[in-house]
Amino acid sequence: MSKFWNYLLTRNFADSRLIQVAVEAEKNAIPELQAATEVARINQIRVLEAFRKAGISELHLKDGTGYGYGDLGRQGLEEVYALTFGAEAALVRAQIISGTHAITLALSSLLQPGDELLSVTGTPYDSLATVIGVSGDVRGSFKEQGITYREVSLDREGKPDYQKIAEVLTPKTKVVMIQRSRGYSWRRSLSIKEIEELIKFVKSIFPRVICFVDNCYGEFVEEKEPTHVGADLAAGSLIKNPGGGIAPTGGYLVGKTELITTAADRLFAPGLGNKLGTNLGLGRLFYQGLFLAPQIVGEALKGIIFAAHFFKLLELETSPPPGSPRSDLVQAVKLHTPEAVKAFCRGIQNASPVDSFVVPEPGYFPGYADEIIMAAGTFIEGASLELTADGPLRPPYIVYLQGGLSYAHTVYAVVNAVQELVHAGFIKL
């Protein structure tokens, strides 16, 4: 047993038998952990080369004020993002407050009354469903604006249903939306290869259809991004993967220049959007966060890989199972009862660096129909790159573990969460 595991034994926070299971899980995970390290190294060099090609200097780390005309920091940051993501252009702004906001901005800039939005990965993430008008009665939703919406579910294997997609695509379809990650659903995240094949298929039928990818939770998990393989536009949040655990807010869009310009005009004002604005003194954090992101995402990825192996040894049903390809930073585990979900979340919260003394309780959040429980002792509110565990309290009672700024923290917290399940009688050693 390594010095690390022997040290954990001295902390007396978990049953020694549980520590032994964790040691075995880590041993089983070694090939995947090594693969994750290699991906992080490759992505680190890709980001470094983007910084160098853009000629980033100390001057770029200082944001402008007021209108932000000629703001070198803003311009340089967006060039680095475009280069990193293999895109023509980027929009990276503090004024984009979340992943849902970034996705809404992208879609609302692309769609006009009478257009059709087609999701080819089933029902989107809960908070986006209200934006579209799938659930709830929200003023200003796409449905109210006269934008039609249809969706095609993934097949039984969690793969795109190409036959059905071909049947429902019409000349009226303006945007095809691809959700890379799982959201609050028991499904696979899509790999970059699958996204590439899906985009090629759609374009082979209607070349002018805009293929948009919700990239949240997926950045730097693989060696390429959706815009490397044909996506016209992709979006995400800076308090998830690309912020590197440092960016305190913000979001991004990357893609074709024309589409980025349209989105910038939508965010600010027509004709002005990507020509002015400042990141309000946060630019340096955005730069540094992006530079650190491949390494931090690698740590988070290794943490959830360990968790999958650990859960399997404890006979818990997980998605994805150990050994499966990874395309996001989410590990789902089925716990079957609300009490078990609460116990698990207590364990994660108790092992957090912030608010470890807080006991998570379910409650209603804007954009969600069900009560949500969330363990999130994070430095940045809602930062999903930091270790969190959450989920809606609805059958079959799944908790979604995500993020983790360091592998050691994730291991400690996951063992602590399972110890809570043991104390509550949901797992027997």
Domain count across the chain:
2
Separation between Cα atoms, residue 154 and residue 147, nearest integer Å: 23
Arithmetic mean of pLDDT over the chain: 95
Q: 281 and 410 share a domain?
A: no
Contact 374, 360 (CB under 8 A): yes
Helix then strand then coil, in percent of the chain rounded to 5, is: 45, 15, 45
Lowest mean pLDDT among 134-148, 266-280, 302-316: 134-148
CA distances from 274 to 105, 283, 285 (A): 14, 16, 20
Shared-domain flag, residues 32 and 57 = no
Residue 171 and residue 69 in one domain: yes
What pLDDT, on a 0 to 100 scale, did the predictor assign at position 273? 82
Whether pLDDT at 321 is above 70: yes
pLDDT score recorded for residue 129: 85
Percent of the chain with pLDDT over 70: 99
196 plus 214 within the same structural domain: yes
pLDDT confidence of 136, banded at 50, 70, 90?
Answer: low
Q: Locate 425 and state its tokens.
A: 């009688």
Q: Name the residue range of residue 350's domain.
A: 3-43+293-423
Q: What is the pLDDT of residues 193-249, one digit of tens each?
A: 999 999 999 999 999 999 999 999 999 999 999 999 999 999 999 999 999 999 999
How far apart CA 29 and CA 355 sit, in angstroms, is 30
Last residue of a domain, one of 290, 313, 347: 290
pLDDT exceeds 90 at position 135: no
Predicted confidence (pLDDT) at residue 256 exceeds the cutoff of 80? yes
Closest CA to 387 of 419, 420, 410: 410
d(C-alpha 167, C-alpha 188), whole Å? 23
Q: Flag whether pLDDT at 114 surpasses 80.
A: yes
What CATH number is associated with residue 79?
3.40.640.10
pLDDT value at 320 more than 70: yes
Average pLDDT over residues 130-140: 79
Neighbours of 139 (CB within 10 A): 5
Clarify whether residues 75 and 30 are in a common domain: no
Of 290, 310, 332, the last residue of a domain is: 290
Contact 307, 413 (CB under 8 A): no
Q: Is the model's pLDDT at 367 over the cut of 70? A: no
d(CA 109, CA 148): 15
d(CA 306, CA 310): 6
pLDDT band at 429 (very low <50, low <70, confident <90, very high): confident
| pLDDT value of residue 34 | 98
Residue 376 or 369, more confident: 376
Instruction: Return the minimum-mean-pLDDT range out of 20-24, 112-116, 139-143, 293-297.
Output: 139-143
